[in-house]
Structure 1
Amino acid sequence: MAPRVLICGDIVWAHEEVKQLFDGIAEVIRMDSTTRTDFMAGLKTSGKYAGIVGIYRHNTSADHIGIFDREIIKALAPNVKWIAHNGAGYDQIDVQECKANGIFVSNTPGAVDEATATTALYLLISTLRQFSFGERSLRSNTWKSPIDPGCTHDLSARTLGILGLGGIGLHLANLAHAFPMRVIYHSRSRNHNAPEWCQYYAKMEDMLKESDVLSVHVPLRKDTESLVGEKEIRAMKKGSIIVNTARGKVIDEDAMIRALADGHLSSVGLDVYPDEPNVNSRLLEFPQLALLPHMGTENQDSQKKMEIRALTNLRNFLTKGKGDDLISEMR
């Protein structure tokens, strides 16, 4: 009897690949629960999801059944052994509870690198040149007013500090270097794949002191929540900029808004927020900001790559006993 796997959330682009990857290997079940109660009932011995050993998970499933918290993880054990999450960030999964119950978790890091890095580049350019502000002035028929040219800068004259030089950060570094910007970075350890022109700072504060723009590329974990706080923001130059395409809670939003209000930060470019889809109304008081509704990977090319990569991780678990792209906490 073929093992059962559950598609939990949307498959939009890779329908044919689902057939190709799992034909003759597994029975693929689609989650159709519209409530957590129904989902939990389906996991019971006689339920519609009984016996599943692996899950493909997309964040859209949370709209119906909530995040994969302790309650859900305990209900998945002991049968489920692999959760193939679609996305680089996996903060909607209780990873420690997964470890405690022998469930491995994978993500899709490389598949999002280009899309997220180009989103960060757009926010970087838009905030330095105030292009987003300029477009809004045109649409409101004020023609560049009240934009101050003294607050805009060429990229080539600026230093970009990258917090977290993983796949996304390294891709952004190469994009920014083309202008050319000076690129420096801080990570938990030196990235040996970094080019020689990308300077490593062992201490985050030392990097912040030299950064005109800080771009954030670290995952959200307990140890990275509010990683960029009051002290870190004030360590940056007056008039500097923060770009965030990682997770909203990595930055202390209140500290960031205070720095915008008193002019220590000249602008920020954000694609992520602490309480999505809710956006702090204070941010809307600063017209120079560039704000996006978490659309860094909202394109069909990246989303198909992410779907295929997550599905492949699940297939490899079934065929090889171990998938790829294990999250760092599981290595």
Structure 2
Amino acid sequence: MKNKILIAYSIPKEGLTELETHFDLIYPEKEFFTKDELIERIPECIGLLSIFNRDVSAEIIKAGKNLKIISNYGVGFNNIDLSVANEQKIIVCNTPEAVCEPTAELCMGLLLSLSRQISVYNSELKSNPNFEWGVMKNLGNTLRGKTLGIIGMGEIGKSVAEKAMAFGMNIAYHNRKPITDIKWSKAVYMNLEELLKESDVVSLHCPLTPETDHLLGEKEFVKMKSTAFLINTARGAVVHEEALAKALNKGEIAGAGLDVFENEPTIYPGLLQQKNALVVPHIGTATWETRIEMGREASRNMIDYLKNGNTKNRVN
């Protein structure tokens, strides 16, 4: 008889075929298991494949009497009560490799749309029959020669940097410590204040921690160039949304491209009213290929640990 794994959300089964050869998988009949359903089913399982947008609370974790591993479908893991997982000696993993490239691609998409006002002009052309064309109308900004300031130079940040360099951008970054790899010798390490002042685009790629919660707020936006753009494909709470809306409204910065929000799916109303705020519904990893690959990576975490006693994506 195989051990059981609880699949919290209805994700593509193509990514779970290897996991299914080793374990019995319990899938939700609907889109996802509710909290009460998780608490009811988790005692019989040794593993939980959780999902980044639904909480794995202390109550759920403590109900997992036989639980050994939680493999989170996503790079973020702030949805999981890590302190309780540690108390219960349950390891927690994430899926950083699968999400890297699609998130970096979306970041560049937001940057291109902001700099050339693609979304704005698309909307206006469709809705305004009197839209004005002209050589000196509908101008945007060129990326070549501009400075991209990356906050959080992990794998996603590096992938964004590589793509931006292909567009001729200069790279500055703020990290816990400078990168020593000679490959990044042309990227300039800056403290946060210096990066905000010098960058034409500030792009967030840091995890949400007590230190990065509301990392950018009223005081930080004042330091940025009035022509600068902010892009957030990291975590919503890294940015103080109300302060950002005010900064956009007052022209303290030129625009923002946002994939993540403080209280998803709710977006601060002031942001929705800003023409220079480009918002999308947390689609950084939302491609068919990525969703399948995330399942494979989450599966490998479980197989490696439960069969071999070790896994590379452990976060606690």
TM superposition score normalised by structure 2: 0.91
- Give the AA of the match of 1:111: A
What are the equivalent positions in structure 2 for 1:1-331 lying under 5 Å apart? 1-14=1-14, 17-23=15-21, 25-32=22-29, 34-43=33-42, 50-59=43-52, 62=54, 67-76=55-64, 78-141=65-128, 142-143=130-131, 152-193=140-181, 195-201=184-190, 203-327=191-315, 330=316
Change (3 A) 1:34 1:320: closer
Amino acid corresponding to residue 24 of structure 2 in structure 1: E
C-alpha distance in 2, partners of 1:161/1:98?
35
Deviation, 1:22, is: 3.8
Does the aligned pair in 2 maintain the 1:159–1:182 contact within 8 Å? yes
Q: For 2:37 and 2:163, how far apart are their aligned partners in 1?
A: 46
Percentage of matched positions with identical amino acids:
34
- Would the aligned equivalents of 1:160 and 1:214 in 2 still touch at CA under 8 Å? yes
| Structure 1 residues 265 and 144, CA gap change in structure 2 (3 angstroms) | farther
Pairwise CA RMSD of aligned residues?
A: 2.1
Q: How many residues align?
A: 311
**Aligned partners of 1:110 and 1:35: how far apart in 2?**
28
Tell me how far 1:150 sits from its aligned partner. Answer: 8.4
Partner Cα separation in structure 1 for residue 269 and residue 306 of structure 2: 47
Whole-angstrom distance in 1 between the partners of 2:234 and 2:132: 30
Bigger mean CA deviation after superposition, 273-282 or 154-163: 273-282
In the alignment, which residue of structure 2 is the partner of 1:46? none
Distance (whole Å) between structure 2 residues aligned to residue 258 and residue 105 of structure 1: 38
Contact 1:132 1:288 in 2 (8 A): no
Post-superposition CA distance 1:157-190 (Å, at most 9, x none) = 3110000011111000000001101111001122
1:34, CA displacement in angstroms? 4.8
Structure 1 residue matching 2:216: 3-state secondary structure:
coil
Contact in 2 for aligned 1:10/1:58 (Cα 8 Å): no
Aligned partners of 2:251 and 2:109: how far apart in 1? 22
| 1:38–1:200 distance in 2 versus 1, CA, 3 Å | same
- What amino acid sits opposite 2:287 in the alignment? N
Instruction: Label 1:7 to 1:197 Cα distance change in 2 as closer, same or farther (>3 A).
Output: same
Give yes or no for contact 1:225–1:250 (8 Å, CA) kept in 2: yes
**Cα deviation digits, residues 281-300 of structure 1 (max 9, x gap):** 21222223222111111111
Alpha-carbon separation, structure 1, partners of 2:47 and 2:97: 22
TM-score normalised by length of structure 1:
0.87
Q: Supply the AA of the counterpart residue of 2:50.
A: R
Per-residue CA deviations over 1:244-274 (Å, capped at 9, x if unaligned) read 1111111011111111111111110111111
Structure 1 stretches lacking a partner, 5+ long: 44-49
**Equivalent residue of 1:28, what SS?**
strand
CA contact (8 A) 2:245 2:274 kept: no
Partner Cα separation in structure 1 for residue 63 and residue 180 of structure 2: 41
What is the DSSP-based 3-state SS (H/G/I as helix, E as strand, rest coil) of the residue aligned with 2:254?
Answer: strand
